[in-house]
Amino acid sequence: METGSADRLIGQRAGEAWPLDGARAGDGAERTGARRSAGEGRGAGDGRSAGDGHQPAVVAEPASDRLDGRVALVTGAGSPDGIGYAIARRLSALGAEVAIVSTTRRIHERAGELNVTGFVADLTVEAEVGALADAVAEQLGAVDVLVNNAGLASKASPEVLRPVAQLSLDEWRTEIDRNLTTAFLVSRAFVTGMAERGWGRVVNLAATAGPVNALPTEAGYAAAKAGVVGLTRALAMELVADGVTVNAVAPGIIHTAASTFVELKQGLGTPIGRPGTPDEVASAVAYLCTPAASYITGQMLVVDGGNSVREADYR
């Protein structure tokens, strides 16, 4: 990781020189204000009654599946074969202006491929998350859609696979920080602005491991992903009156570049008979990010080919 480099949080977009100075035509307060229609303020979209201040107003926003004029941030999108990359591509196709972030400079290659803006940051570090929030706001404007996908292990920080009895406290903290603390820090940095504007979408990537099932030697990962679901539900209730929905998507066995042979073989044993794809996860995430999903909050959507509901193999 390149912690401390002066330009690590300067966004790079395809076709633009490195580094950027942060200035774009139409950005800033004028651009942000232009996105808001009279019907999108707190009075219309926050679910509060103008009469007694207690009863929610029965006002449903239009069931659009588009994100034109919205700014979306996707974390953990450094791999071209990963779930984060597929999510960023899908949100961009829906009309959103997308920012992506990972811990290394390869994120700028992905940004060029997707024609989006890339940032480098270590999301387990509070100060870097704050600097990321400032940089995104300066270059793209206020974030409307947040997808917390960061969490996968890397060559520099491999997954910890040990029984609890053999797990060190540092290894435990690594798994919790990578998979849960990142979602907490990034959500905290952006949800206040969403609530103030009266509209927002947060989707957290959980997993079936933890909330649905568990495997030996993966206690840290399972605990963190179960924690992601708890965070999702608590945050959803905190923001439910402010026009902001918060949901989780829990993928099962998904075929990515990081998949092992054993994992892919397990994928063949699912009821559907194959592992899932990043695009299949991305489509579920993208729906939860749209105005059409305005009545869904605090939920976990499992994307595992039916694997978690099968009681036993049939011979």
Catalytic site positions: 221
Q: Which two tokens stand for residue 160?
A: 């910890």
Q: How far is residue 288 CA from its own chain's centroid?
A: 11
Please state, in angstroms and rounded to a whole number, the distance separating the CA atoms of residues 150 and 178.
7
Q: How far is CA 193 from CA 67, 239, 279, in A?
A: 18, 11, 29
Beta bridge partner(s), residue 254: 276
Provide the β-strand partners of residue 100.
Answer: 74, 118
Pairing of strands 97-102, 200-205: unpaired
Q: Record the tokens describing residue 116, joined without a space.
A: 């989006």
Name the nearest CA neighbour of 218 among 232, 229, 208.
208
Q: Which residues does 78 contact at the CB level (< 8 Å), separation at least 6?
A: 84, 85, 102, 103, 104, 106, 107, 110
Give the whole-angstrom CA distance, residue 70 versus residue 84.
18
* CB 144, CB 71: distance < 8 Å: yes
Rounded to the nearest 10°, the torsion over CA 42, 46, 50, 54 is -140
Q: Cβ distance 13 to 114 under 8 Å?
A: no
Residue 54 CA: distances (Å) to CA of 2, 50, 60, 80, 130 = 49, 9, 18, 47, 34
Q: Which residues partner with 102 through β-bridges?
A: 120
